[in-house]
Each structure stands twice: as C-alpha cells, then as structure tokens.
Chains A and B, each alone.
Chain A
Amino acid sequence: MITGKVKQGAMAAVLAAALPLVAGEATAQNRALVLMSSGGVLLDAQKKAFIEPFEEATGIRVVTVAPVDFGKIQTQVEVGRVEIDVVEWAPEFAIRFCGTVLEKITDEFDMSVFDPKYVSNECGIPQATFTHPFFYNKNVFTGDVPSTWADFFDTEKFPGKRAVWNSGYGTNFEKALIADGVAAEDLYPLDFERALAKFDGIKDDIIYWNTAAQLVQLMQEGSVDLVAGWGPAATQAIINGADAYVPVMNQPIMIYNQLMIPTGAPNREEALEFIRFVTSQESQLGHVSTYPQGPTRKDVNPTEFANETLKQNYPGSATNAVDLDPSWRWQHIGEMGDAWVNWSTQ
C-alpha cells in the first residue's frame, strides 16, 4: 500500500534523476547551421566541393537534413520554431513563399554575377542547374537505339521496363507532352489529360522510383531498360559501375535550384555566410567539374572534368534543353500533384 506521499516522493526522485539528461540537450552548439537538401549522392559531392571546405574555413558546423520537406519548413515558420537555416530547392517554392515562409535575401548578394535566367525572385540565390534526361541500357538496345522522348514512350519500337520518378511535381507531364509532339515553348499551360494519356501507353511497363537511392539501385542492378532520371544521381550511378546506361541528351528538361533562408532561421548570419561561400566562383567551379550539375554564375565555364562520364552528362552540353516555367508551375502545383496521384494510384 503506497501512500500518496510516498508516490510523490518516488516520482520526484525519478524526475530528478531524469532532469540532468534532458537538460543536457540544451548544450549550445558552437556556431552551426542546418542545411536541408535532397541528400544522397548530391550531398556526398557537395560535402567535398564546398561543405567541408566551408566548415574548415569558418569553424561553422553544417548539419544536413534530407530529403527536402517544404511542408515542414512552412509549419516551423507558422509555429515560430524554425530549425532549418538554408534550404536548397526548386524556384517554384521560392516564388510561391517569398516574403512569407522565406526571407527576401537577394539584397544581401551581388546578383549580377548570375545568369539572369536563374534570378527569378527575391528569395532564392541560384545554386546549380541540372537536367532530367533519359538513359537506355546499351546491352538491351543494341541496334536501333532510342533517341527522343517519343522513343521513351514507344513500347512497340522499344519494349522494356521504364523507370519513372513517382512525382506529380517533377517533370513527368512535360516529358510526355514533348513526346506527344508539343513544342517546348507551348508546354504551358500543361494539358494533364493529354500527358497522362501518353503515360497510359507505358503504365504496365513502369517501375517507379521515389528516391535517389532507388534510382541508383535500379541502375546498378541493370534491371530496367529505360530510365527517366535525375541527371546527377543517374550519372553518379554510371560512374559507380552502372556503365550499361547511355544518356540521351536530346531535349533534356533543364532545372535549377536556389538556396533560400526560411523566415526566422535561428542561424541567419551563418546561413548568409554559407550561401556566399557556396555561390562563389571557386566553389561552383569545383562543384560542377566533380559532379554532373551546371553553374548558375556567368563566370563559371568548366573545361576540365573529373572524368569522361561527367563530361558527357554535363548539363551545358545539351543544345536543345527544355526550360520549365516556374511561375506557371507554382500556381498549379496542387493540380499537378492531384492529377498524378489520381492517375498513378489506379
């Protein structure tokens, strides 16, 4: 029979024992910032190209979080508990949330160094470009090889499994429309029905991938015949041994990422310092010559690459790359997601 007093005493003792442990968490992190990015192989490359040099140069620790979860940032800003200091993500979000979830920061930078094509708002600092091309397995297609998006969707001419990113926010609609004969400049507004009708034709041959890891895994296994992939991750897979895959740099979708700072970021100063470091000429040049991304600065033009594959996949090598329209896309982002979910879950 425990009396109330005894119970209180026991509880107090337990709490007292637990408190120091809980309190320990509050230990101040000596200058740090939190970077949210897509992670994976990109992060590995970024670490070498500029994150580790930055840490060494400034003594600021960069904690990385992956993948990008923009909803989380939005929530954090709404409830006033922001954890993320820098996020690298698509310009759609920078346009959509500029001045609300994201802080206007372009005044802090010399924006004239960037290609104006990539300066699309007051919140995003252009970081890198990359492509969504497709790849084919040269062991499977030995004679006639697929060379256009139309070929990618043509299961009669090129039968086989096709790896596709499971995302409505990605570039699936654009790819299908181009394959269906829409001119690059007439893509917007996107015709969802037309695009999905094109996808219907390959639905039974689709292997979905959600993450970079799954994409790399599929390519390392060599178990798919065609891959519509993220250029950088796929290239990295090829470098790591998936050399059966050949990139088709014909009308790849050209994408760029921006660096943004959430409103109320706890380490704003460190974040600005980080972005300045990352977007410097030296950092960009180092990065794009070791990783299949392209520069956003006008003064970065790599001539030497770490290896031949990187050169083949260099985003700048495509002459007819298809540009996205971020401003149309951010206004219709919900519809894009819904249309895709509705189609793909059937």
Chain B
Amino acid sequence: MNTTTEPELGKETSAIEAIRQKEKWFTRIVKMQAFQIFLVLLVLVVVFSLLAPDTFAQFSNLRLVVQNASILAVLGVGMTYVIITSGIDLSIGSVLVFSGVVSAIVMRQVGGDNWGVAAIGIAVSIVLGILWGVLNGVLVAKAKVPPLIVTLGSLGMALGGAQILTGGVDLRDVPSVLTESIGYGNVFGSIPLISVIALVVIVLGAIVLHRTRFGLHTYAVGSSEEAARRVGVRVDRHLIRIYALSGGLAGLAGILSLSQFSTTAIAGQSQTNLNVIAAVVIGGTSLFGGYGTIFGTVVGLFIPAVLQNGFVITGVQPFWQQVAVGAVLIAAVYIDQVRRSSTRRGNSQKNRKWPIFGRKSPPQ
C-alpha cells in the first residue's frame, strides 16, 4: 500500500508545483500591493503629463522630483526593515538632525574645506546615527519597551541634544566640497549625485532584504517572533541590528541633508518620520510585520512627491497634496487589512494586536 501511494503523492506535489511555477511570476507580481501602487503612480504621472506636457513631463522637472525624494528614500530603506519586524522608528528625523549637527561641529573644529574633512564628517554622522539606533534597538529588544515609546523618546532626546549643542542656532558652515558634490553635483551629465547615492542604498537594501539570511530573519521576526526564537534565530540581536541600520541610514541622510541644504535645519525634519512611515505603508509593507518590499517603499515615496510637484505645477492649493496623500495612505492600510484577513487561515495568529503598541513578550 505505502509503496504505491507515496510516489504518486510525490508526483502530485511536483506536478502542482510545476503548474504554479508557470503562472506564479505574473500573478504574484500583479497581486503585489507594491505593483498596484506602482500603477497608481503611473496613472498620476500620465495625468499630470497630459495636463502639463511642457512643464511637468520634462526631464528637468522629473530630475528635481527624484532629487528631492532622495534623502527620504535613504530613510525609507531603514524604515522598511523596521516596519517588517512589526516595529516603528519615529526618531529618524531627529537622529538625522543630531548627526548633521555634530558632524557640522566636528568639521568646523577640524577646519578646512577638503575631502579629508568631509570624510571625517561623513563618518561622524553615520556612526552617531548607528549609536542612536543601537540605543533604540537595545531598549526595544532587551528592555521590552514598545518601539513607539522608545523611538518617541529618542526623537525628543536627539532633537533636544541638537538644540543644546547649538543653542538652537543653525550651523551653516558646511564644507563646499560636500555641497558642490553630494549636494548639487551631477554624474553622467545631469543625474544628481545625491540620487545615485540613494539608488545605491536602495539596491543594496533590496538585495539584502530579499536575498540574504539577514533579510529572511527580518521577515521571520516580524512574522512570528516566537517561531523565529524556537528555531534559534537570535531575535534580540537581530532587532538591535535592524534599529542600528535605521539609525545609520538616518546618519547618512544627515550628511546628505547637510550637503543639500548647507544648513543643519534644526527646526526642519519634524514631519520626516511620518512622511517616511506613510511612504513605507503606501508601498504595501504591513504595519503588522512580516510583509513588505523596498520597491514598494520607493514607489510609496514618489506618490506624495509627484502629487506635490504636479499640484504646484498645475496651480492647485498645496494643502490638497496632504488630503490626497492621506487618502492614499488609508486606502493602502485598508488593502493590507483585506489581504491579511483573506490570506490568514487557521488560528495561528489570532489575538494579534496593533504591533506598534508593544511586541508580544516571549513566554516565561
């Protein structure tokens, strides 16, 4: 009996698998929320292009849209990782400012306007970002304080720290090697260098997330912390690394911002965290964790950017952009809810609460 049924079942498995394999590529992409939101973006671009063919649909305009989204994209990569673990990082805007401020102070102390000084500044900014991230990560993973609270706290601490260090007065003596290269420099003719840097971060972020063990563990921790722990994933260490990654990218964004704006803009960036979170969520990453893509986040960033640019060009009141982005955001989360309830079967994750209010603590 056994010997006759087994190979048959085996064949069945492979046969079904083979059929799946064929249709899989196309249908899976179409079903991806990131892809659907990409279609929305395309529609927006087409509509604005039709409305304003000689102003919106120009390379020079789209180039500036991309340039202005670059800093947010760097932050978005880190935020995507954090949200996939069902966490949140509210501190990125403040960490960006803090890292930029300390970096500017250090560069001023060292003095000079050359790449040596700039390199020191870049290193200081990134290292400080990582340190803030590690602080967030340790508090989330080890002290079990909810990430919403931890990063709300570090948001205030980093911003306050920046104000203490400067007395609230912006520093504007940024080495011109930075502003002329990273800030406004171009490569390959007229591709902004800052956008190329962002693209490198995006591509590396996507490869690591979708192709490596680090990425797999990120999804696993967000999907079921308990399942990950039981099979030996070092969940706490992984969470610390994720928050450190987010912080480090905020540090990098700090130097990019310093280069682009030639000022520490201490009073700025106050809504950066929410804008980045909105982009990540619009891009289909689930606030409940376990699901998300870097591609979606990039698309999610361009929806508000294109809307704002298009509205300004077509002369629509700027406030409408916020209304439209808000609607898209709610729609995206609604879609995620529908998707989750339709794909979730059985009882394996009943009683899951909104994740940002607290990680489920491990048993005993």
Q: Is chain B a partner of chain A in the same complex?
A: no
* B residues lining the A interface (CB < 8 Å): none
* A residues lining the B interface (CB < 8 Å): none
